[in-house]
Amino acid sequence: MLATVRLFARYNALVNAAMNQVLATVGPGEWTKDRGGFFPSLQKLAAHIYSTDVAWLVRFTGLHPFNSVKGGPFDFPPAAGDLPFESFEDYLPKRKFLDEAFVAFAAEVTEADLSSELSYRNARGEAFTKPFGPLLLHLFNHQTHHRGMVALYLDQAGVKNDFSSLSSYLS
């Protein structure tokens, strides 16, 4: 499973970079346009993915400290519902930092970590204890799910996109 975690961390960084190249072709109006979904705009959807990634990585430090989960957004995580960036230009370096942290985090995770239990609280303060490895896979699944929503919003905007095929990133 450790190889899978590391694969998904690298894939996540690569597919986010590819997605961001496509997002860079849309103007500010398309970035903030309400498309009717639960996270109504590309901006709010990107903010949700980013904030959730930060929250889970911080939560994962409850297992033990990880050197990759320090500084930047990890010291002051965005509150649920906050917009951690106003513009696409503000989003790009923050997403890149987070993707690099994910890859470094995956390199720190051990097989022993993956078979451990993680106790944490969700955003509502509810306490849980769950297996760490499957929680980490849950986070990657969450990212994939919401990148699919980004692709749908881009389709609605008439922007060609095809950035998410895992097989495209296998060497």
**Interval 55-102: pLDDT, tens:** 999 999 999 999 999 999 999 888 877 899 989 999 999 999 999 999
- Report residue 123: phi and psi, to 5°: -65, -25
pLDDT at position 94: 97
Residue 169 has pLDDT above 90, yes or no: no
CATH of 2-169, one of 1.10.1270.20, 3.90.1150.10, 2.120.10.80, 1.20.120.450: 1.20.120.450
Span 6-33, pLDDT tens digits: 999 999 999 999 999 999 999 999 999 9
- Taking residue 121's Cβ as centre, other Cβ atoms within 10 Å add up to 11
Q: What is the pTM of this model?
A: 0.94
Q: Which residue has the higher pLDDT, 68 or 170?
A: 68
| Ordered alpha helix ranges (H), the chain | 2-23, 28-32, 42-60, 88-108, 111-114, 132-156
> Domain extents for the chain?
2-169
| Residue written as token pair 């002051």 | 76
Can you list the pairs that 12-18 forms with residues at least 24 positions away whose Cβ atoms lie under 8 Å?
Answer: 12/99, 12/102, 12/140, 12/143, 13/99, 13/100, 13/102, 13/103, 14/169, 15/147, 15/163, 15/164, 15/169, 16/95, 16/99, 16/147, 17/96, 17/99, 18/163, 18/164
Report the Cα–Cα distance between both ends of the chain, in Å, rounded. 18
In the predicted model, what is the mean pLDDT of the chain? 95
pLDDT at position 164: 85
pLDDT at position 99: 97
